[in-house]
Chain A
Amino acid sequence: MDDLLTAHSSAYDDPVALDPRVEELLDLRLERRRRGPYKIISTEDLQGKLETWLRGDLGSEVIISDFGRMPGGASKEQFSFVLAGSDGSSEKLVLRVDPLESIVETCRYRETEALNALADLLPLAQARFVDGDGSKLGQPCMITSFVTGVTRPPTKGKVGPSGVGTTFSREWRERLTPQFVENLAKIHRFDWRSADLPHYSAPTDFPTQAGLWQVNWWSRVWREDLIVPYPLLTMAEGWMRRNLPACDDPVLIHGDYRTGNFMFDPVSGEMTAILDWELAHLGDFHEDLGWTMQRLFAGAADDSGEVMVCNLLTREALIEQYERTTGRKVNLRTLAFYEILAAFKCAAMNLGTGAGIALRGNNHQDVVLAWLSSVGHVFADEMAGLIEKEISA
């Protein structure tokens, strides 16, 4: 049997090594899991706690008004309100609060740090306040500016949950695609080494560390969250471990870059905000491309019938435009790895995390998570096809 075993047990294939902050978050969520079921926050209670917090930070003259729950949001509870200061100023803000368990476990400090670091480079909401450990509001949360704009075209096109399945006309594709590619390029060009990102860690100890951290993160999530076992995911984990790509130049990764996560002006088409930075981390640029290219986020163009990545451009066009805009060369084997990883993450999130949260009643949207859980089979099926293609290549 020993002849069958290949070399193991070194840093290069350590199956538990993680980005330290991710490890901390995953440990904390196991502890919180036992505190359920989750009672949905009463807006009156929450407003009271918010007033206490902000008056403590800003002074007792501030007034909070128009406090109300926002629609959507399967990951965080979202509320909007107006904050008026003693100087007569007022601003509309958005409060995002972590429920007991979310479909992804992420860091409000990291999200705030990304927004602050990129504030001058990209259209973003402004990070205004953060309570990363829940010591002020009772649950981790952050407050950002309220951004105007839409995530789908105002007249034509259908839309699914979280922007999935949104279609764009040719006119809208032509307006939005250049911005979509350019903004991704800006994220990847960003000089994170000079930025203030204390909750981020760089996978720079050895070339395969970027991929290894990701595989370790999401395989841990699957193992801890699985309700029903699926041998494909165990096999896929093994395949990824045996095929880790090298990354010598980690970049800032958005982590959820796709249609549904950018807003634009419905008249000018100018993008007004890139949303949902909660999965941001440092890693291989192919990871954002692989995520963006997933089948669930794609759709057939109404005019031509071609399948468009994020309903904006073909896969080939995205690669060509990304290379031209960034000067980087896309490695197709590395891209395939990260497409497989992306599908693994989504299969784990939906079939494992989401289903488990719904079973435990630990979220404000259990019934939505139960509904969305089945989409994990779409990702799993896609992942099987991608791995088959790589093995046959």
Chain B
Amino acid sequence: MSPDFDIRLISMIKAMEEVVVPAIPEERSLAREQAGVLIGHLQVFRDQWPHVAKYAWLCLRDSQALARDLIETLRRFPETPQFTALRNLLAKEDLDAASSATTVWACRNALASSIDIVIDSTINYGTEVTGLIDALVLSHAAREHRRDRVWFQGTALDPDVASLPSIEEMLSDRP
């Protein structure tokens, strides 16, 4: 796989910083601004690419955990088509260790979509149900969005970036 992503990304960043950007006239502000953002994207890719597969699996497993918790919690309430669809989707996982990050991520999204449909279907249920669902989703969200904040910390847009662990540290946590 040589030249690998690291070699290519390092050389792209250097070319942009030392050749392309200096060649853009000062008055071409849109071009200079976007070239700078492009360099930023490449630098963040460099931080992320070694961990993409592991990250996609972590996101999927956490979504599966939320789906299982929802199904378990709602078991004592009348079955609906939305609950059945979520249960069936959860049971259907046909991934293995060879599955690509793209495929794993697509599974995560399909599951999240089905979870959304269940949440939507219960929006006008009484507080006994909505309270339980809210608590489960909040617990999952606290992990999911913090995880994504860590994943994208290289953008330096997060006002609390100094408090975040590294990507490696985040990946060693389990939901």
Q: Which residues of A are interface residues toward B (Cβ below 8 A)?
A: 1, 4-6, 8, 40, 68-72, 160-161, 164-165, 228-232, 234-235, 237-239, 241-242, 295-296, 298-299, 364-365, 367-368, 370-372, 374-375, 377-378, 380-381, 384-385, 387-388, 391
B119 touches A231 (CB 8 A): yes
Q: B residues within 8 A CB of A71?
A: 29-30, 33
CA distance A4 to B77 in the complex (A): 9
Point out the residue from B40, B112, B119 that lies within 8 Å of A371, measured CB to CB: B40
Cβ-closest chain A residue relative to B131: A391
CA distance A164 to B40 in the complex (A): 17
CA distance A241 to B66 in the complex (A): 23
Point out the residue from A5, A165, A367 that lies within 8 Å of B125, measured CB to CB: A5
Name the residue among B116, B129, B131, B157 with the largest chain A CB count within 10 angstroms: B157
Q: Let me know if B103 is at the binding interface, CB within 8 A.
A: no
Cβ-closest chain A residue relative to B125: A4
Point out the residue from A1, A231, A378 that lies within 8 Å of B78, measured CB to CB: A1
B2 to chain A, nearest CB (A): 28
Q: B residues within 8 A CB of A364?
A: 30
A231 touches B116 (CB 8 A): yes
CA distance A5 to B30 in the complex (A): 53
A384 touches B109 (CB 8 A): no
Q: Let me know if B20 is at the binding interface, CB within 8 A.
A: no
Q: B residues within 8 A CB of A296?
A: 157, 159
Contact A381 B142, CB 8 Å, known A229-B109, A242-B130: yes
Point out the residue from A72, A228, A239 that lies within 8 Å of B112, measured CB to CB: A228
Q: B residues within 8 A CB of A5?
A: 124-126
A231 touches B148 (CB 8 A): no
CA distance A388 to B140 in the complex (A): 12
Q: B residues within 8 A CB of A230?
A: 112, 141, 144-145
B145 touches A374 (CB 8 A): no
Which B113-148 residues have a C-beta within 8 angstroms of A? 113, 115-116, 119-120, 122-126, 128-131, 133-135, 137-138, 140-142, 144-146, 148
Cβ-closest chain A residue relative to B147: A377
A72 touches B33 (CB 8 A): yes
Q: A residues within 8 A CB of B172?
A: none
B41 touches A298 (CB 8 A): no
CA distance A239 to B127 in the complex (A): 10
A235 touches B134 (CB 8 A): yes
Point out the residue from B41, B141, B157, B158 that lies within 8 Å of A232, measured CB to CB: B141
Q: A residues within 8 A CB of B113?
A: 229
Q: B residues within 8 A CB of A391?
A: 131, 134-135, 138
Cβ-closest chain B residue relative to A40: B30
Q: Let me know if B80 is at the binding interface, CB within 8 A.
A: yes
Cβ-closest chain B residue relative to A235: B137
Contact A231 B155, CB 8 Å, known A4-B125, A238-B119, A238-B123: no
A377 touches B152 (CB 8 A): yes
Contact A235 B119, CB 8 Å, known A374-B155, A375-B158: yes
Cβ-closest chain B residue relative to A161: B157
Name the residue among B80, B128, B149 with the largest chain A CB count within 10 angstroms: B149
Q: Let me know if B12 is at the binding interface, CB within 8 A.
A: no
B37 touches A367 (CB 8 A): yes
| Cβ contacts A to B, 21 pairs, < 8 Å | A4-B122, A4-B128, A69-B30, A161-B157, A229-B113, A231-B115, A231-B116, A232-B137, A232-B140, A234-B116, A235-B141, A238-B119, A238-B134, A239-B134, A241-B123, A365-B34, A367-B34, A370-B41, A374-B151, A378-B157, A378-B158
